[in-house]
Structure 1
Amino acid sequence: MKSKFFRLFRFQGPVSIIYYIAFVGLLWYLVIPHTSIYYRTNLFDPFSEKMNAEDVVLKKGEEFHLYLIRLNQRVTYSSTDIKVADVSIFGTVTAYRPGTTFIRIRFDGRERKCRVRVIDISHKKLTLSRGNSCRLYIKGPNGRVKWYSGNKKIATVSRFGKVKAKKKGWVVIYAKVEGKLLTCRVAVR
């Protein structure tokens, strides 16, 4: 004889099917929202159109190619602020000056957006006398900046971008922002 457990979970008509549907619905409503599956934003959907990037950080003068994945039709590109960054008809984004803009991709009555942040360093070249200092900063929207000196014997840089000249010579100061490396060449007299 089979136990009640096995008889309970067999399909025996419309009542057991409704039971299973209600059980899955209850599971989805009570359990899934409290797990990490519910909070994932990048779930794979094989039939939707996705962009190759939704947030891009560019240095002034840099280019990036933006396109839709899994879409085989004509699209139009436009920029909300062409002074910051503009986009060609083929999806090549060119950064012009520090700031933030959105690139819109329109197709089939729908629209997707990509945020483009353009950054630059305050000085590309700097001349200092021994003992003097100057503060470098990042123009445009930025996050956390890490500053490095190419040669600490010639000039040092603080974590806030203050460059202090130590000894005669030249050195490159590096700023790393969002994976982008910006440089300033410092000559010490």
Structure 2
Amino acid sequence: MKKNNILRLFQFRGAISIIYYFAFAFLLWYLIIPHTSLYFNNKIFTPFNKRLNEEDITLIKGEEFTLRVMNFNKRLYFSSTDIKVADVNIFGTVTAYRAGTTIIRVKMRDEVLKCRVRVIDINKKKLNLKAGKNYRLNVKGVWFGVSWSSGNSSIARVSRYGNVTAISKGTVKIYGKVRGKTLSCTVTVR
């Protein structure tokens, strides 16, 4: 009787078996958790502890930033959890490649420091519209918090959700500001 109960755990009969729960937990832990704030936790600031010069940075695609460890003068090992989003070299220079989030880990002796890197990019750099037409711009790499503005609202207007409406002929820049970084799209209205 006990043997049958154990075998039922591994069978699929209209309900999810224990194997599926393990697979789900594995995917959650290794693919999802490193990109959330559960993985990245802020420590209390103490002036004499080893710490990074920044623990949370936002970069535009193609931008670079150098991480430094304060109060430490030994060999450091840098690594990225997702090298497709941003990678780091042996000197601590982080290079942003595509929109997304990654964690840069700095390993020293028996301690690991972490820095969250958010890479952002706009979905269109140049846009051609006829007067009266609309197009939705968005910033890849963040879900909310983008502040939109138009360089000249008589040529093209933009809503707070990134919807661009062409008004009259001309060229204008539409700006999206997020986390202190500004992205732009050049809109040409025909």
Change in Cα spacing, 1:80 to 1:125, as seen in structure 2 (3 Å) is same
Indicate the residue corresponding to 1:177 in structure 2: 178
Instruction: Note the C-alpha offset of 1:143.
Output: 3.7
Task: Give 2:173's aligned amino acid.
Answer: V
| CA distance in structure 1 between the partners assigned to 2:110 and 2:85 by the alignment | 26
Say which SS state the counterpart of residue 78 (structure 1) adopts: strand
The answer on whether the counterparts of 1:121 and 1:138 sit within 8 Å (CA) in structure 2 is yes
Say which SS state the counterpart of residue 53 (structure 1) adopts: coil
Indicate the residue corresponding to 2:39 in structure 1: none
Structure 1 segments, 4+ long, off by >6 Å, are: none
The answer on whether the counterparts of 1:86 and 1:95 sit within 8 Å (CA) in structure 2 is yes
After TM superposition, list the pairs within 5 Å mapping 1:69-88 onto structure 2. Answer: 69-88=70-89
Task: Give 1:77's aligned amino acid.
Answer: F
The answer on whether the counterparts of 1:98 and 1:117 sit within 8 Å (CA) in structure 2 is yes
Runs of at least 5 residues in structure 1 that lack an aligned partner in the other structure: 1-40
Runs of at least 5 residues in structure 2 that lack an aligned partner in the other structure: 1-41
Indicate the residue corresponding to 2:154 in structure 1: 153
| CA distance in structure 1 between the partners assigned to 2:142 and 2:157 by the alignment | 25
Indicate the residue corresponding to 1:96 in structure 2: 97
| CA distance in structure 2 between the partners assigned to 1:44 and 1:50 by the alignment | 8
| CA distance in structure 1 between the partners assigned to 2:107 and 2:144 by the alignment | 29
Map Cα deviations across residues 92-142 of structure 1 (whole Å, 9 max, x no partner): 000000011000000012101101011111100000001101000111124
After TM superposition, list the pairs within 5 Å mapping 1:23-102 onto structure 2. Answer: 44-102=45-103
User: What percentage of residue pairs aligned between the two structures are identical?
Assistant: 56
Indicate the residue corresponding to 2:113 in structure 1: 112
Map Cα deviations across residues 31-81 of structure 1 (whole Å, 9 max, x no partner): xxxxxxxxxx87652321011011111111111111100111110100000
- Alignment: residue pair count: 149
Indicate the residue corresponding to 1:140 in structure 2: 141
Say which SS state the counterpart of residue 134 (structure 1) adopts: strand
| CA distance in structure 1 between the partners assigned to 2:156 and 2:185 by the alignment | 12
| CA distance in structure 1 between the partners assigned to 2:87 and 2:43 by the alignment | 27
Larger radius of gyration: 1
Q: So what's the TM-score if we normalise by structure 1? A: 0.76
